[in-house]
Amino acid sequence: MSSVSITEVIEQLNLRCNIMNKETDSRVDLKQKYSLKEYAVMFITCAALSGFNMWIYQELNNKNLFETNVIMSIFILMFNIMFMAFIATIITNKIRYRTWVLPIEKLSKAARNIARGDFSVRITPLRFDGKKDFVEVLFDDFNAMTGELAFINNNLQEIVNEKTAKVVKLQESILRTMANMVEYRDNLTGGHINRTQHTVNLLLEEIKKQELYKDIVDKWDVSLILQSTQLHDVGKIVINDNILKKQGSLTNEEFDEMKKHVIYGLAIIERIETESGESDLLKYAKIFALTHHEKWDGSGYPNNLSGERIPLQGRIMAIADVYDALISERPYKKAMTHEEAVKIIIDGKGAHFEPALIDLFTGIEPIRFFI
């Protein structure tokens, strides 16, 4: 998609408006011709009615009806005057409706459509003889204006889409950078973030396929869920290198400090949320960061949550995180095979992990974990 700047859009609009103005200046003012034509019709009609009225008056006078029946004569005269006034009113109303009411109705309807975002609306002419009066000129200008609005709207939408795509790309880049910082500090250079994200996606696909927790999952934005998984270990940035990079087993005190990474992670994400105003993505990230070490039987940390008190995101990430830890090589252990890791995870069914999710996990074809 080509980049279109606001300045280019405005320049195009000014160019089109100048062209329209030149066309308008070259058009003659037809308002007077149109008015004379309409009023000429009314004048001729009134003159004809006046002549007809004078003829009746003369006939009545010749027959001496005024002398024999004055009331009848006056009645006939008044009737003719009223009839003439009635015809004149009809013609006047027709001129007013044709000149003002109908055009205003058309303009009002078109304006309402534009307000609803329909820039394709155009006003059809009232005359079909090819001639243009001032109303037709007004319609032409309105249609030209609508075309310019459509032009601006389409180009601005392209600009917004392009800027949005750049923001999303920047957001993903920042998340990836933060996740890589955690991996480098934790000596995890083998793509822990990518693999856990992939496993979470596999579990989400199975959950949706089996319609498990449908009322919950249907409300999720899966793309944001997957992006937010990258921050589940962000709190490890705060952990001291002596603990984070220790080659052997941790002491009880060191393990207690390590467990605080979930609290630190929550605090980091909350600060980002406060300063950036972002909520949709980070609300998922906070859940992943805080709850991915909780256990189904309540023996996890930091809050000893159990069962469905653990958010579904945390229960899913718990499986993905442990699985990747098992199949990955560490300074203090060798990597396990897929089959060995799955066996250990099955052994944790009902204790560490939710039984229903383990059933879904074991149903995933092994080859899909390594695609």
By annotation, the residues acting in catalysis are: 236
Maximum distance among all alpha carbons in the chain? 136
**Is the distance from CB of 53 to CB of 86 less than 8 angstroms?**
no
**Is the distance from CB of 152 to CB of 9 less than 8 angstroms?**
yes
* CA–CA distance, 120 with 186 (Å, rounded to integer): 58
Q: Which of 82, 100, 81, 80 is nearest to 38 (CA)?
A: 100
**Is the distance from CB of 137 to CB of 24 less than 8 angstroms?**
yes
| Start-to-end C-alpha separation, the chain | 31
Burial of 353 (C-beta count, 10 Å sphere; 0-12/13-18/19+): buried
Residue type, 74: I
The CA–CA distances, whole Å, from 239 to 127, 246, 273, 318, 343 equal 80, 12, 21, 20, 31
**Is the distance from CB of 313 to CB of 320 less than 8 angstroms?**
no
**Is the distance from CB of 259 to CB of 236 less than 8 angstroms?**
no
* CA–CA distance, 114 with 106 (Å, rounded to integer): 12
* CA–CA distance, 239 with 258 (Å, rounded to integer): 7
| Tokens read off for 131 | 């001639």
- DSSP, collapsed to helix, strand or coil, labels residue 333 as strand
* CA–CA distance, 83 with 286 (Å, rounded to integer): 84
